[in-house]
């Protein structure tokens, strides 16, 4: 299950998924925090998180995959793409990109694309 699918779910549905993954400390979390916990749980269980979005390249050279859920505007589920990945794969604004992502590390705010699987 990817972040886009999780975003469309209610808190109750997310709570059931968290219970199935045997995640602790999820009661009282906001929806975005719950989604992040579930994705981290999936990462531990499966070793990978898969997601997709539409690329917006910023003037500094890096970009974000934007979600349809937020009408392709900046949102909390955006996925960071480094300038080197944009150059390596010849990515352009508006490309739909999917691949494996990792949760934010300490001090980071966004998931980051690790591996491009489909453009």
Residue 61 has pLDDT above 90, yes or no: yes
Q: In the predicted model, is pLDDT for residue 55 greater than 90? A: yes
For domain 49-118, which architecture applies? Beta Barrel (2.40)
Nearest to 50 by CA among 7, 91, 1, 8: 1
Burial class (CB in 10 A: 0-12, 13-18, 19+), 117: exposed
pLDDT score at 56: 97
Q: Domain ranges for the chain, please list them.
A: 3-46, 49-118
Per-residue model confidence as pLDDT tens digits over 9-20: 899 999 998 888
Burial class of residue 105, CB neighbours in 10 A (0-12, 13-18, 19+): exposed
């Amino acid at each position: 299950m990817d972040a886009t699918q999780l975003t469309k779910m209610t808190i109750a549905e997310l709570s059931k998924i968290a219970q199935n993954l045997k995640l602790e400390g999820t009661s009282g979390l906001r929806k975005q925090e719950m989604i992040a916990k579930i994705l981290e749980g999936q990462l531990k269980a499966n070793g990978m998180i898969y997601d997709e979005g539409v690329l917006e390249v910023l003037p500094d050279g890096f970009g974000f995959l934007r979600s349809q859920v937020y009408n392709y505007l900046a949102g909390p589920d955006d996925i960071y793409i480094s300038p080197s990945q944009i150059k390596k794969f010849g990515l352009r604004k508006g490309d739909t990109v999917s691949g494996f992502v990792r949760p934010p590390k300490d001090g980071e705010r966004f998931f980051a694309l690790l591996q491009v699987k489909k453009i």
